[in-house]
Amino acid sequence: MIALVIIVVGGFVVFAVFQIVGSYRRQASTGKEDLLGKTVEVKERLQPEGTVFYEGELWRAISASGNIEPGEEVVITKVTGLKLTVAKKTKE
C-alpha cells in the first residue's frame, strides 16, 4: 500500500514539474506585440478610419492602404493606444 502511494505522489510531482517548466518556456501572448501581424476582418468601411473585428472585439482602425470595404481581411501593422493601423492582406 505504501509503495502505491509513493508511486502516485511521485507521478504527480513529475507531472507538476513538467507543467511548471513548460509554462516558463512559453512566450507570453498579451499586449500590443501579440496583435502585430494578425489578420482581422473589416466591419465598418475604412475610409481611412473605421472598425475591424478581432477575437470577439471591435477595434477602431486606420487604413494604410486607402479605402477598404466591409468583409475584407486586413493585417495589423501598428498599434497606437487602442487604435490599430491596418493594411490590405497581400495575396500569397
DSSP character string of the chain: -HHHHHHHHHHHHHHHHHHHHHHHHSPP--SHHHHTT-EEEEEE-BSSEEEEEETTEEEEEEESSS-B-TT-EEEEEEEETTEEEEEEPPP-
- Predicted confidence band at 26 (pLDDT cuts at 50, 70, 90)? confident
Q: Is residue 7 included in any domain, yes or no?
A: no
Residue 76 lies inside a defined structural domain of this protein? yes
Give the mean model confidence (pLDDT) for residues 23-34. 78
In CATH, what number is assigned to the domain containing residue 56?
2.40.50.140
Domain residues for the domain of 55 are 32-88
The number of folded domains in the chain is 1
Global pTM reads: 0.65
pLDDT at 27 over 80: no
Residue 14 domain-assigned (yes or no): no
